[in-house]
Each structure stands twice: as C-alpha cells, then as structure tokens.
Chain A
C-alpha cells in the first residue's frame, strides 16, 4: 500500500483550565460531597428512629456519593486542585496545596465567625472559630511533614 502524502494530523487535547467543564466539575464535587455527608447523617437518624430499611438505603446511597466524589475529584485534578487552584500530583505537591488551604482557610473561618456574631449567631461564630483553630493546627502539622521531606 502506498504511503499517504498527507501530513499526520496532530491531536491536541483540550486544557481543562478556565473551562465551563471545570466549573461544572467543581460544582458537581461540592454536590457529591455534601450529599455524601447528608445521606450518611440521615442514615444514622433513620437508624436511631427505627427505620432500618431507610437507613440501609441512605447508607448505600452515601457510599455511592463518596465514590462519585472521588471520581469527580480525580477528573478535576487533571487541571488543578480545586481548593487552592494549585497543580498537584506527588505527595509533596499535595501536602503543600492542603497546607496552603488550611492556612488561608484559618483566616476565612475567623471572618466567618465575625460575620456570624454580628448577625447574632454566637454559637455558629464559636463553631467557625473552633474550626479555624483546627485548620491552623493542620497547616502546622503539614508544614512539619513538608519541611521534613523537602
């Protein structure tokens, strides 16, 4: 067979960054993660209320949401990690990304706490503050690991 004289077409896969698809993936991840937590929480309530059939169904649905959330995250990570927008992959990069998220989110939690207190939700303000402290502790823990592995 004669060789083709046409130049080989070079396929360039589209980049996920800054696409509507990436936005949709991020929204889907949020939905899956929230639904996973809700379904397992509701499953426990059903269990306590003596509704084992409902509990089992909700628990099994929660498992699916968890699997879907991981699948969605996996696709998102082709571009960047969604919490900080950093490129991740190897453990050192992954830890650096989460460390940055915890450090930044500690400040966000403090802002959320102030807003909650201004609106009269003392308990929710206290919750945000508690979470903010935990975020800072997690950032410090990951920083220790990162500097130990650098």
Chain B
C-alpha cells in the first residue's frame, strides 16, 4: 500500500472545482431528476407539465397540449399568461434566466402562484441542461419570443420573432442521449398524468398526441370520477365513491374512496397537484382515518369482537382512493417530491376523512356493512395466508406436502390466472419452451403442474399429443380447453407408469416444492429412455440479488421454499440423471403491482415488496434491472432460464 505520509496528489485551492449552474446538473443529473433512465426523462416531462399546471391552478390557463414524436421530441404548450419577457436585473431576458440559472423562478415569491408544484426554480433549468435541444416559446402582450439551447448552451438568443394573437408558453425539448443513453419517458405515464390533472383541476382540458392519435381529457366529475375510473375494471363493493372535501388546520383536503373486490389497494395521492407515489404524511393520515373509522363502526355494530383484530392493512384492501391536499410550503423527501414529510398534513387528512367517513358509514348502512365485511374478509385471508406458510413448513418434516394449501391457492387464482401475472402468457417465454422441442411429430408430452395448459400448448403442432397433470380441479378444467387430455394428480406421485412419455415439460413450479429432487425423479421415471425434459424457471441474476429476490418472492408467495439459482437447477437435473443439458435465457419484464395483487399476498406484504424495490441496495440494482416510474409503478426484469435435458437412451 502507498505510504500514507507521502501524498500522491496535491489538495489545495487548485483542486477545488466550482461547477457553474448547468455543468453541475450535467455532471450529477440523477441528483436533480432522480435517475438517468426512463424515470429521469419522465421527470423532465413532468417538470415542464407542472409549470403549465401551475398556470392553470393560478386561474390563467385552461389548456395543456402535449405531443411526442418518434424521435422523443416533446412539445408541451399551455394558454397561460406566458413567462414575463422583460429584462431581469442581471441584464438578460427573464426567460433566459429561468432556463439557465438554478433557483430562479416565480414560485419563490408569494403573489405569482398561490400553491405551486414543480421543483421550484430547478426544474426548467434541469430540463434545458439535460436536453440535446431545448426551445422556449413565449406568447405574451401581442408578441412571440423564442430562444434555443443545446445541452444548456445557447444556440439562438431569446428574442422576439414575430407577433402572436394568443398568450401562453410552449417548451420543445429532446432528452440528451449522452445523459440518458436513449432512455425515453413512458407515454402511458404521461397520459395518466394528464388524465389525473384533468380530474383534479376544475376547468382544465388536456390533449395528448402520439403515434398519430390524439386523446383529450376534460372532466368536471372531480375526484369521485377519478376514483370511479381507477376502479372501473374491478368489481365494486359499493356503487358511489365516498367523497370528502374539507379543511383542517389550514389545509384543504379532498378525497374519494371506493372499495372494490380487488386484492390490492390503489391510492393516488397528490400535494398541490404533484403526484407523491411513495405517499407520506398525508397517506398515513388517510390510512389512520380509514382504519379507525371502519374498526369503530365494526365494533359498534358488533360485526367483530375484541378478539378478532382488524389491522390497518385489512381496511385498505381493495380500496381505490384519490387524495389531494393543498397546503403552503410542503416539505418533501428528495428533489423529485415522491413523499410528503409534513406530519400536519397527516393530521388534517385524518381529521377531515375520519369525520366524513364516519358520517358516510352511519348514513349508508348497507354500503357500510359491505365495506366493513370486506375488511373482515381481508383479515381472515391474512390469517389464512399466515397459516398456509406455517403448514407448508411443518408438513415438510414428514416429507409430505399439504395438498389442500396448493389446491386452495391455485383454485382461487384460476379465476383470473392469465391476467394475474405477465409471465404466464408471455409469448416469447412460452415460445422458448415449445421451441426447445426435439421430439418426433407423434411424440406424447406430459405438462406437469400444467396450470391452464399454456406451456404444454406451446408444443402444439410439434408433437402428436399433449397431456396435462395438475393438482387443482379448477386448473384441470382450464387446461382441458387447451390440452388433449388432463389428469388431476400429484407431481410427487405422478399417476402414470414408468417410461410413458416421450417428453415432459414444466415451468415455474420447482421453487414451490419442498424436496424438488422428488418430483424431478418422478419426471425422470415417467420419461421414456431418450425422452426430453424441458423446464423453465426464473433464477436470480447472481449471488448478489439472491437474498433480495428471496424476500420479494417469499413476501408475494408464502409457498415459496426454494430460491433456485442457475447452478442449483443444473445440479438438480444432473442428480436426477438427466444429461445433454442445454439452456436458453429470456429476460421478461413483469408488472409487479399486478403480480402482487393476489389473494395469497396480504396487504402488508404488498407494501413490504414495494419497499424492497424502493430501498433496493445499490449492489442489487447494479445486477438486477428494474424500473420504478414517477407514478410509482414497478416493472421488474426477470431472468428466465429454459433448460432442456434428456433421459439417457
């Protein structure tokens, strides 16, 4: 090691580098916009949108028009007042100062904006600094002014270029590929943002053009309409949302609550119209208000007694809610405002929602009974899920698997099996299973733990006959719509004689089975000599993401017992006697919010899964790709390996 007494570099005044404005933004972009991936580009779009929205909230704009072209060039226009074009005290036009100087803007002083969103003077500057091309157009006082920049450097000075009959501001920009490496904002997320704002802001209409189509959002239904739209795909517990509008401790609270039969909760929360995907104090207040109001009602109505605990997560299950608070000087965690910190907002929400919800429950006894009944049902499911995990564990001691647990879970999941996760019907993934076939045209294939039969069906046209085997009667019924014949039975004791099949296939099951070597030996037994076994399994990317992935999956699926790595799968197949192993890998993006919205995943676990993504160690992020959109939606990249191996001939 170097001798610490011998400095290898000088550290003096010359070592100190002062980064000027946009240099700092380009040097550390993630510090300003959260990431250099698609989330970061999305933050640029939202920042410009938020400026237009502030004009609407101040009562000066009624339209926001947005478009994006195939090259990723965004155009965001409003019909607000237009940024003032006078000369700033620095001698430069105000718009030029606004887009090139950090911490310059009209939101620091009271008067111009009552309750602004946005990054407060960092946003537009960041967008300029992180764009390969940036154009600001202002229409105001009968004139039209335009300035252009590239990577924050002036290309054309901001100056008057003609006349304009209207007022407003238009920003055109393309995120810099040098910074973002070609990542793009998710247009669907932008559409959701515009849709949400049209509901949150009375009198605002928004248009969004992309890929030659245009959608327009304008709604006077308010938050009730928003909640109804969020819950439209779900079976509702009550028809009309509970609408709350009140003020407490100087904070305006508006909310709409609608309980559904879905497993997941869906709460969209906003502070001064800024979406806060990680919630914070205001969401805590909402949970507290709902938990206390429903528990009090359930106890008063003698629907539960003191021995049956109703947890906060039970009362939130299936809830679709929109919460909007408007307050002065909110404090957020991080520059991108994902989480509200002010406890006073929680107190205001708890009070306003608590009072209104208690009143609604008293005034709507039939709906109240349904909503409280839903929470009680969720509590009992939570207890059942815990028991499932415990029973799966203890039964293993006797080398038995409690088949009822598996039957119960997959029986319930069969109702929406194909929409309960993306991987189940992913065409690319299925194609690699059937595509691995080296079997003869008249071969007979067994799809073990076949579920709905999609894996077996991927062999269709390549083999002569496909037979399914599954433990769950509901899944057997589903599979019979795809496969030639389906038998109800157990993978630990496959109900077929030795050497019956030319091929066997299986996917994503071994991680749920204690002693996976036992079902593998059964598969080996029923294969004819020379028969092919094709099995697909997701595996961790490396040793680094293994324990993290274990927690994600275990929280989702209480029956998860084997965190199988690629090397484990290879070893298991070799130990079972298979040979001539080949593999193919497939990366598949899973919608995590949908994946965890299932019966077997209690509400608390869903939150803890999201926490695992939000607080994922940097080491894991470096090897395991996933995305969290500014709206909070999580997409995880799963590494699938499809193994093909043969029983010796």
Q: Which residues of A approach B to under 8 Å, CB–CB?
A: 44-45, 47-52, 55-56, 92, 119-124, 126-127, 129-131, 133-134, 136-137, 149-150
Contact = CB atoms under 8 A, between A and B. Distances in A.
Contacts of A150: 1
Interface stretch (B8-16, B41-49, B119-127, B604-612): B604-612
A130 B611 contact: no
Contacts of B608: 44, 48
B244 interface: no
Given A44-B608, A134-B543, A122 B561 contact: yes
A44 B555 CA distance: 15
A31 to B, nearest CB: 23
Chain A binding site: helix, strand, loop or mixed by DSSP? Answer: helix
Interface in B369-417: 392-394, 396-398
Contact of A122 (B285, B313, B540, B562): B562
Interface string B560-576: 11110100000000000
A134 B541 CA distance: 12
B291 A49 contact: yes
A136 to B, nearest CB: 7
A51 B310 CA distance: 13
B311 interface: yes
Contacts of B514: 122
Interface in B550-606: 550, 554, 560-563, 565, 603-604
A37 B590 CA distance: 30
A9 B395 CA distance: 70
Nearest to A47: B284
B312 A50 contact: yes
B343 interface: yes
8 contacts: A45-B604, A50-B290, A119-B397, A120-B397, A122-B561, A123-B560, A130-B540, A130-B547
Most buried by A among B313, B540, B563: B563
Given A45-B604, A48-B603, A55 B284 contact: yes
B312 A133 contact: no
A137 B547 CA distance: 12
Contacts of A122: 393, 396, 514-515, 561-562
A52 B546 CA distance: 32
B4 to A, nearest CB: 8
A133 to B, nearest CB: 4
Given A45-B604, A50-B288, A122-B514, 15 more contacts: A44-B608, A48-B312, A49-B287, A50-B286, A50-B291, A120-B394, A122-B396, A123-B554, A123-B560, A126-B550, A126-B563, A127-B563, A129-B563, A130-B540, A137-B543
Given A50-B288, A120-B394, A134 B546 contact: yes
Given A48-B287, A52-B284, A137-B542, A120 B396 contact: yes
Most buried by A among B315, B547, B550: B547
A44 B313 CA distance: 12
Nearest to B292: A50
Contact of B565 (A47, A52, A127, A133): A133
A131 B551 CA distance: 11
Interface in B485-516: 514-515
A130 B563 contact: yes
A133 B545 CA distance: 10
A4 to B, nearest CB: 40
B350 to A, nearest CB: 8
